[in-house]
Amino acid sequence: MTPPDAALGSAPPAPRITAAGRRTRDRIVRTAAELMFRKGVAGTSIPDVQQAAKVSASQIYHYFGDKSDLVRAVIRHQIEQTLAGQQPLLEHLDSFEALRAWCAATVEVQERRGCEGGCEIGSLASELVETCELMRGELVAAFDRWEAPIREGLRRMRRNGTLAAHADVDKLATAMLAAVQGGLLLTQVRRSPEPLRAATEAAVGYIETFAA
């Protein structure tokens, strides 16, 4: 068994997993993600995950070399879940109306949550980015995956003539995602959806200045 605080290195080879094993592994990751979202990474121990997922320590260490390995899996799980919830809107991001609809959907999610918890990826980033370079790399990859469909949507808007040919879609996509992240943080702190709504409206307004 590898100690949870073992030094980080390259990820161990993934074990061959049966269908039942895949379900167990997925349950461990989902459980760890829920706990880390509520309690933070530092506040979530392997025994916590073991108890909540109703698995043994040997099962956890069969799939994950140490806690850091599990955290990497949680980051990947959270970005997959985030994109899965937004994909239907992002896939049809080809107009300012579609851009506003996506922003409105992010606000609605926070309203349903009572503005608690913030962003699943942003919360992990704020806790991990300065403590582990390998984790920072995972977080960079996660945010890149989130930014990619925004960029592609803006690129479609440029191709269909909604945005001017000189619009820098790379910078606009980064600005849009930054507005979402900053808005989510203030919405969490203030327990109000208004910061997120204001930030995304301002970002869309800026993108509109590049209208063809």
pTM for the model stands at: 0.84
133, 153, 36: which is closest to 88 by C-alpha? Answer: 153
pLDDT above 70: residue 73:
yes
Residue 119: left (phi > 0), alpha (psi -120 to 50), or beta? Answer: beta
pLDDT in tens, 173-198: 999 999 999 999 999 999 999 999 99
Which tokens sit at 175? 């600005």
Q: Which residue has the higher pLDDT, 31 or 15?
A: 31
Domains in the chain, CATH or no CATH each: 19-65 (1.10.10.60), 76-208 (1.10.357.10)
pLDDT tier at 208 (50, 70, 90 boundaries)?
A: very high
What mean pLDDT value characterizes the chain?
A: 91
Place of tokens 């606009």: 172
Residue 85 and residue 66 in contact, taking contact as beta carbons nearer than 8 Å: no
Q: What is the pLDDT of residue 115?
A: 94
